[in-house]
Amino acid sequence: MRAALDRIYDAAGYLAAFFVFAIFAVMIGGTALRELGLRSGGSDDIVAWFCAAAAFLAMAHTFRRGDFVRVMLGLERLGPVARRRMELLCLLVMVAFTGFLAVAAIRFVYESYALNDMANGLIAIPLWIPQSSFVVGALLLLVAVVDELATVLRGGTPAYIVAVEERHARGDFSEDL
Amino acid sequence: MTLIGIGALLLAVMLALLAAGVWIAVSLAITGGIGMALFTSLPLDVTAKNLFTSFWGANASWELAALPLFIWMGEILFRTRLSEQMFTGLAPWLNRIPGRLMHTTILGCGIFGSVSGSSAATCATISKVALPELLKRGYDERVALGSLATAGTLGILIPPSITMVVYAVAAEASIIRIFLAGFFPGFLLMFLFSGYIAWWAWRHPDRTPPPDPPTTFAQKIKASGELIPCGLLILFIVVALVKGWATATECAAYGVLGSLALAWWGKSLTWKNFIDSLMGATRVSCMIMFILAGAKFLSMTMGYTGIPRALAEWVDSLHLAPYTLIAVLALIYIVLGTALDGISMIVLTATVVLPMIQKAGFDLIWFGIFIVMLVEIAEVTPPVGFNLFVLQNMTGRDSNEIALASLPFFAMLVVAIAIITVFPDLVTWLPDYVMGVEK
């Protein structure tokens, strides 16, 4: 179960990275086509959709790696018992929010599918196709958050704390801005 | 309840969520949700629809696509030998200036800042080589730490800059315009930092070690030869921006291409480095876009309630002198910056502060540079300052000690902010010259 979940989060993360690479490829390809005098219309829409896919699909992976920023000052001052309670509270807030987000994503992407909304740019495809990255990403994030909640309830340390501590111990700050 | 009262209540909710340690993006979105539920009569379904629209709209953005690419570019270069080349290439030229090799920190960060858009990455990349080399030669550790911590922040002032992309998206301003606006303030800041180092060295001649053995001109050129590829990359980005050949996103894509070529040339383009840099960039941009999405939902609520407009009118009715308003804002941002990272700080305040600023007659591009410089200060103010963490980790020194060492450079930043406030043309001249005056 553990291994399977981890693999799913990471797979979505890699897929998101692929979309970042795809943005790069489409941009380069688009300018090359323009230089050759061919039309590269529609590439703006594709880039925007890829950008959304990269952001949504990476959410669960990013959350677990501790890259979502939060203010740690208060938490770090607490004793272990109080800290665990606060961590639980934060995760409960997170479950409530991501749950609502996932429901909203499913509800409105389904609506867009049912009403057959079309993209109004140069590439007229049904909008639910690019929007499905939102549904998948939001659902995965919800699963990842519940996963962490279960870890903390069982008395463990959440993955997002462990990952950051390990990274900083290695002297790797490339992911802090 | 008056609008200002509602605003104060929402602010209290948001601060409570943030202080409790709830993730910043979610704190913003929840505050927005509470505002929508309590102070508008919208049904829950419409709130959900608004949440959906703001998350989709924030992320499915062509403008924002520049963000992951600029981050990726920095991540690639971070994994090359660029920092060593920078030190060996710059050192021979600086032997005779007061302060000698200490200036490699400023120049190195300035040059790396023009290929990287992140402050912590610039600080880490330059410190990695410059710090041990300087200490080995007996340079003063305090000044070295202070200058590296603060000069690292040039990464976000000299374009490309991740912080500027975020500001431009939040303020709906042109990314290229604000990039161009960053050049002169960046040079000004480098000049002030180097000036301080020279002044310090002149006051403390006993604490500057003897120069390295002299080198001939030919040797100097040879040592700097390794900097040529990086120089070409910078030149390309600057020219592409100034000539308007490419949009910001295209510029970022070619920057990535150039960085990949540079890494390949320097034999550091392994499959592992490629994947690591791409994954790192994906995560960092996901984090930023998550905050932007949460903030977009919050600003939608703000729009419904009309709080920013009311606040802007209230500030306007105080008839503050423009300099007073700027001084108050600077103070607020310095305080916020002690606990928040720069991106969150900008996104958090944009909805409320930008209408105020426009009403008071300030230029949005100018304000962007002003805020980026305040974010630079935030990077070196404890308890939360990423550049302090980077150097703490590299040297084992306490971050408060490093913050103290940065104080003189911090003062230079404040001086630079004062200069651009008094002479706003320093910021707006280049974008206006290149792109024409904005109507």
ipTM confidence: 0.94
**Residue B242, H or E segment:** helix B228-243
Cα of B188 vs its chain's centroid, Å: 16
Phi/psi region, residue A42 (left: phi>0; alpha: psi -120 to 50; beta: rest), is left
CA distance B107 to B194: 9
What is the Cα–Cα distance from B118 to A175, expressed in whole angstroms?
Answer: 10
Distance, in Å, from the CA atom of A90 to the CA atom of B298, rounded to the nearest integer, reads 19
Q: Is the pLDDT of residue A173 over 90?
A: no
- Count contacts between A and B (CB, < 8 Å): 208
Nearest to A59 by CA among A12, A126, A106: A12
Measured CA to CA in angstroms, residue A80 lies from A71, A83, A147, A165 at distances of 17, 5, 21, 16
Question: Which parts of chain A fold into alpha helices (H)?
Answer: 2-35, 43-57, 59-64, 73-77, 80-114, 128-153, 159-169
The predicted pLDDT at position B282 comes to 95
The maximal CA–CA distance of chain B, rounded, in angstroms, is 77
A108/B22 Cβ within 8 A: no
Does residue A126 sit in helix, strand or coil?
strand
**Which of B82, B169, B67, B65 lies closest to B118 in space, CA to CA?**
B67
pLDDT per residue of chain B (439 residues) written in tens, 0 to 9: 688 888 889 989 999 999 999 999 999 999 999 998 888 888 889 999 999 999 999 999 888 898 999 999 988 988 888 888 888 889 889 988 899 999 999 999 999 998 888 888 899 889 988 999 999 999 999 999 999 999 999 999 998 899 999 999 989 899 999 999 999 999 999 999 999 999 999 999 888 888 888 888 888 888 888 788 888 888 888 888 777 777 888 889 999 999 999 999 888 899 999 999 999 999 999 999 999 999 999 988 888 888 888 888 888 888 888 889 999 999 999 988 887 888 888 988 888 899 889 888 899 999 999 999 999 998 898 877 888 888 887 888 888 899 999 999 999 999 999 999 999 999 999 999 988 887 5
Token pair for B184: 């002169």
3-state secondary structure of B200: helix
* DSSP label of B424: T
User: Which chain B positions have a beta carbon within 8 Å of A103's beta carbon?
Assistant: 48
- Which residue in B53, B33, B61 sits closest to A47, CA to CA? B61
Q: What span, in angstroms and rounded, lies between the C-alpha atoms of A101 and B23?
A: 15
Residues 310-339 on B with a CB inside 8 Å of A are 339
The pTM of this model reads: 0.89
Residues of A in contact with B388 (CB under 8 A): none
pLDDT score of A174: 61
3-state secondary structure of A65: coil
Q: Please tell me what DSSP assigns to residue B116.
A: -
Asked if B220 and B93 touch (Cβ cutoff 8 Å), the reply is: yes
Q: Residue B225 and residue B396: Cα distance in Å, rounded?
A: 34
Phi, psi angles (nearest 5°) of residue B286: -60, -45
Q: Which residue of B has its CA nearest to A18?
A: B278
Measured CA to CA, the distance from residue B182 to residue B238 in angstroms comes to: 12
CB-CB: which of B246, B284, B393 is closest to A171?
B393
Among A59, A61, A131, beta carbon nearest to B56: A131
- Look-up: residue for tokens 């935030």? B378
Q: At A159, is the pLDDT very low, low, confident or very high (cuts 50, 70, 90)?
A: very high
- The token pair at B223 is 């040592």
Most confident of A18-22, A121-125, B253-257: A18-22
Give Cα A85 to chain centroid, integer Å: 26
The CA distance from B149 to B141, in Å, is 12
Compute the distance between CA of residue B379 and CA of residue B381 in angstroms, rounded to an integer: 6
Q: Could you say which of A70, A98, A176 has the minimum Cβ distance to residue B120?
A: A176
Whether the pLDDT of residue A176 is over 70: the answer is no
The answer, for B64 touching chain A at a CB cutoff of 8 Å, is yes
Tell me the HSE value of A141 on the side-chain side, using a 13 A CA sphere: 31
Residues of A in contact with B62 (CB under 8 A): 44-45, 47-48, 51
Contact A30 B250 (CB under 8 A): yes
At residue A47 the predicted structure's pLDDT band, cuts being 50, 70 and 90, is very high
How many CB atoms lie under 10 A from the CB of residue B16? 12
Q: Is B254 on the interface with A (CB under 8 A)?
A: yes
- Which among A31, A70, A134 has the least Cβ separation from residue B24? A70
Distance from CA of B429 to the nearest CA of A (A): 28
Identify the residue among B15, B28, B52 best suited for mutation to test binding to A, counting A beta carbons within 10 A and taking the highest.
B52
Taking Cα atoms as reference points, which of B42, B27, B40, B49 lies closest to residue B302?
B40
What residues of chain B, 144 to 183, have a C-beta less than 8 Å from chain A? 162-163
One-letter identity of residue B324? T
Q: What is the CA radius of gyration of chain B?
A: 22
Helix (H) or strand (E) holding B393: helix B386-395
* Burial (Cβ within 10 Å: 0-12, 13-18, ≥19) of residue B239: exposed
Selecting from A20, A86, A97 the residue whose C-beta is nearest the C-beta of B281 gives A20
Rounded Cα gap, residues A45 and A41, in angstroms: 9
Return the number of other C-beta atoms located less than 10 Å from residue B51's C-beta. Answer: 26
CB of A175 within 8 Å of a chain B CB? The answer is yes
Using the Cβ of B383 and the Cβ atoms of chain A, whether some distance falls under 8 Å is answered with yes
